[in-house]
Chains A and B, each alone.
Chain A
C-alpha cells in the first residue's frame, strides 16, 4: 500500500518467501510481559535480533463490555465504561454519555460542559504522566534509570487523582457523568487546590521537556525509531497524539468543538518526524496546554445547575424510539467514540447495539507495519510510544 511500509500481508513478509537458511526464530512477546502494558501478545519472527515479521494477538482482556451494555439501561452504562480505558476514565464516561445525550436529545447545562472540559484536561495530564513514567520504565528497566522517571510522574499523577477524589469520592473510577450533566458539583475551595497542584506540576514541566528533547539516552532510544508516516497514519485510522506526531494538524477539540472548547482556544501541538521521539514531544507539549486550559476553565467556570435532565430515580426512565448516534471526542489516546443503536419499542430503555471506537485498537494495528527492521529492544519502545490501553482495545 505504501513504499515505505510494505504492509503486514505483503509478499515481503510471507514466511514461505523467507530464506530457509536464515535460521529464523519465533519469539512470543507477552501476553504477560510487563512491557506490553497489559495483556497483549506479539509473535515476533526474528532474524538474529532483528524483527522480520510481527503478528499481534489481542483479546486477552476481552470482557464483553458491548454485550453488557446491551443488557443494562442507558443510565447504568456509565460506570461500566470507566473500566475500558482505565487510565482516562473521565473521557470514557464523556464519550458514552455524549452519545446517549445525542440520541435522547438532551441538552447539557453550560456549567456541566465547562466542568467536563476541566475534568478532561486534568485527566489528560494524569494520563500523559502515567504514559511518560511507563515509557521511561520500558526504556530504562525497572531497576535502571527508568524507575526514577516512573516515581516522579506517578507522584504528579497522584496529585491529580486526589483532586478527582475530592469531587467524586473515587480515585479513578468516578461514575460522575450522567445523561444530561454531572452528578457531583465542585466542592468549595477546590479551585485553590487545583491551582496549587498545577503550579507544582508546571514548575517541573521543564524537566520533562528537557528529557524528551535533550537527554542523550532518551534521544538515542527514540529518535528515528518506529516511524509512522502521514499516509500510513491516516490509513490506519490513527488519531490523537500519534496522528499529530506524524504531521497531521488535526484535533477534534479545535476542529469540531464540543464541551466548552468552542469558548476556550486549544493550541494543537504537532510534530512531523512521526517517530517515538515526536510522539513523546507532542504528549509533553500537550501537558503544558492542558494546564493552561484547566486554569482558563476554572477562571471562566459559569454558575448554574449541573444537570439538564430530570434527576434519575429509575434507570428505566430514559426511553428512546429508534435511531442511531455517534459521538467521538479527543481523549489522551485519540478519538474515542461511541456508536449507539436504539432498538425502540419495549427495548427502548437499553442500547440495542453499543460500540466503543477505541483509539488504542487502531494504534496497535500499526505494529505489523512498523516493527519489521527494528531490534527486539526497540519493540518495547515502539509499543510504549503508542500508549495502548488493553482495556479499551479488547473491551
Chain B
C-alpha cells in the first residue's frame, strides 16, 4: 500500500499503512504483525522432508537454474531452524511416525508444502499396504504442488503461492478454497485429513501406539529360526552336465531353471563358487498356495564375472513347513537378500546369522508378497 505525504511524495511499500507527519520529517508506521509477516514470508527456511523422486526435483530447485535462494529461502536440514516443511516423496507407514515427530519439532509459525502426487494422495501406491494415503492425514498442508514429479518451476510457484497465503492470512483476506469432494474413484483407505473436524481424535494417540510408532530394534543375536532342513535346488544351461553327473538331475525345462533337491542346494552353491561363479545375483521366493498348504519356490542365480558373464540359475521347491539352508555362509550378499525374502514372503532360511525383517517394521503382521495377503491392508492410524 502506498502512502503519500503532504509534499506529494509517495512511499510505496507493502508495510506502510499510516503516515505520521512531523515538521520536516515523514514517518511511515507499520504494525508489528505486518512487520513479522513480511519478514517471515521473505525468509522461508525450508526443511526438506525429501524421501524419493521429488527430492531430486527439490534439489534441482535449489540448484542454479531455478535457484530458490532468490526468494530468500534456503535449505536447513534441521527442523529447529526451519519454517516450511516440503514433503517431497512417498511417505510410508515406517517413515510416517518420523515425519510427524519432525513436524512437531518445528517451531511455530510453520507451514507445509506437499510436493508431488505421492505426498498429496499416495499416487498409485495409495492402495498398497506400506503407503500413507496423503501427508495431510498426518499434518496440515498449506500448499499442494501436483505432478509426478513437479517441475522445479512448479515448486517455485508453490513457494510463491505460500508467500501470498501468508500475507493474505495476516491481512485477513484469506479464504480457504473449497475442497473438491472425494469422488468414488478415490478409493484406498478412509483415513481422514488431520484438519477434518470429523476426524476421530482418539485415532492419533492410542492407535498410533498400537501401530508401532517406534519399531523396536532387533534383539542382538536372538534369532528365531527353525532347525536346518535340506532344501531342493536347481541349476541351468551349460551347467547341465554338472547337474546331470554330480547331482543326478534329469529334468531341464526350457522356460525355467532346473529344480535341485533341497538337501544338495548348499553343496551346489559351494561347487559353483569354486567354479568361478562368485557373484550372487538374486534370491527370489514365490508363493504357490496349494490345498495342502503354502508351497514356496526359491530361485537363485550366480554370475561368473568374466567374459560371457555366465549365469547359473536353479530353483528349490519347499513343501509346507519346510525351510531352506541359508547361503549366507557362502556369499555375504545372501544375508540381506534372504532377509528380504523372509520379510516379504515368510520363507525361513536355516542357519541364517541374522534373520529379521528388513523392509517392514519389526512388529508388522504377515508377509505381504504372499498371494493371499490383501494388498490394501490397513495399518492404523497411518493408513
Within 8 A of A (CB), among B344-383: 344, 353-354, 357-361, 368-369, 375
Does the CB pair B336–A173 fall under 8 Å? no
The count of chain A contact residues (Cβ–Cβ below 8 Å) is: 80
Tell me the minimal C-beta distance from B154 to chain A in angstroms.
10
Does the CB pair B53–A60 fall under 8 Å? no
Cα of A357 to Cα of B309 in the assembled complex, Å: 16
Which residue of B is nearest A249, CB measured? B305
Q: Does B211 contact A (CB under 8 A)?
A: no
B53, B94, B279, B280: the one within 8 Å of A86 (CB): B53
Cα of A282 to Cα of B51 in the assembled complex, Å: 28
Tell me the minimal C-beta distance from B157 to chain A in angstroms.
15
Q: Does B167 contact A (CB under 8 A)?
A: no
Does the CB pair A61–B92 fall under 8 Å? yes
Sample 23 A-B pairs with CB under 8 A, ordered by A number.
A32-B49, A38-B55, A39-B51, A43-B217, A59-B359, A61-B89, A62-B130, A63-B90, A63-B128, A63-B130, A64-B125, A64-B375, A67-B369, A68-B375, A83-B52, A152-B64, A171-B149, A237-B280, A237-B332, A250-B305, A326-B282, A339-B301, A365-B336
Q: Does A114 contact B (CB under 8 A)?
A: no
Cα of A305 to Cα of B48 in the assembled complex, Å: 44
Chain B contact residues (Cβ within 8 angstroms of A): what range? Answer: 35 or more
Interface centre among B89, B279, B333 (most CB of A within 10 A): B279
Does the CB pair B59–A154 fall under 8 Å? yes
Q: A60-B92, A64-B130 are in contact. Are A255 and B306 (CB under 8 A)?
A: yes
Does the CB pair A68–B128 fall under 8 Å? yes
Cα of A364 to Cα of B335 in the assembled complex, Å: 12
Cα of A131 to Cα of B27 in the assembled complex, Å: 54
Cα of A67 to Cα of B130 in the assembled complex, Å: 11
Q: Does A387 contact B (CB under 8 A)?
A: no
Cα of A134 to Cα of B305 in the assembled complex, Å: 30
Which residue of A is nearest B215, CB measured? A57
Cα of A142 to Cα of B130 in the assembled complex, Å: 32
Q: A67-B375, A322-B256 are in contact. List 15 more A-B contacts (CB 8 A).
A: A14-B221, A55-B217, A59-B358, A60-B95, A83-B53, A134-B59, A150-B63, A152-B64, A235-B331, A239-B279, A326-B313, A357-B281, A362-B333, A365-B336, A394-B359
Q: Does B243 contact A (CB under 8 A)?
A: no
Q: Does A252 contact B (CB under 8 A)?
A: yes
B 309-330 binary contact with A (CB < 8 Å = 1; else 0): 1010100000000000000000
Which residue of A is nearest B255, CB measured? A323
Q: Does B175 contact A (CB under 8 A)?
A: no
Does the CB pair A38–B51 fall under 8 Å? yes
Cα of A9 to Cα of B280 in the assembled complex, Å: 19
Q: Does B131 contact A (CB under 8 A)?
A: yes
Does the CB pair B332–A323 fall under 8 Å? no
Q: A7-B332, A237-B280, A243-B305 are in contact. Are A68 and B125 (CB under 8 A)?
A: yes
Q: Does A151 contact B (CB under 8 A)?
A: yes
Does the CB pair A68–B124 fall under 8 Å? yes
Does the CB pair B52–A38 fall under 8 Å? yes
Q: A236-B333, A324-B299 are in contact. Are A390 and B95 (CB under 8 A)?
A: no
Q: Which residues from chain A contact B270 at a C-beta distance below 8 Å?
A: none
Q: Which residues from chain A contact B368 at a C-beta distance below 8 Å?
A: 64, 67
Q: A64-B129, A250-B306, A352-B286 are in contact. Are A365 and B332 (CB under 8 A)?
A: yes
Does the CB pair A172–B94 fall under 8 Å? no
Partner-B contacts on A (CB < 8 A): 1, 7-9, 14-16, 31-34, 38-39, 43, 55, 58-64, 66-68, 70-71, 80, 83, 86-87, 130, 133-134, 142, 150-152, 154-155, 157-158, 171-173, 232, 234-237, 239, 243, 248, 250, 252, 255-256, 321-324, 326, 328, 335, 337, 339, 341, 352-353, 355, 357, 361-362, 364-365, 369, 390-391, 394-395
Cα of A248 to Cα of B336 in the assembled complex, Å: 22
Secondary structure of the A side of the interface? mixed
Cα of A59 to Cα of B364 in the assembled complex, Å: 12
B 139-172 binary contact with A (CB < 8 Å = 1; else 0): 0000000001101000000000000000000000
Does the CB pair A324–B255 fall under 8 Å? yes
Which residue of A is nearest B353, CB measured? A9
Cα of A324 to Cα of B315 in the assembled complex, Å: 11
Which residue of B is nearest A323, CB measured? B255
Does the CB pair A172–B308 fall under 8 Å? no
A34, A86, A150, A341: the one within 8 Å of B48 (CB): A34
Within 8 A of A (CB), among B250-289: 255-257, 278-282, 284, 286-287
Does the CB pair B94–A59 fall under 8 Å? yes
Does the CB pair A361–B64 fall under 8 Å? no
Q: A32-B98, A324-B255 are in contact. Are A172 and B65 (CB under 8 A)?
A: no
Which residue of B is nearest A330, CB measured? B309
Q: Which residues from chain A contact B65 at a C-beta distance below 8 Å?
A: 154-155, 158
Q: Which residues from chain A contact B55 at a C-beta distance below 8 Å?
A: 38
Does the CB pair A15–B281 fall under 8 Å? no
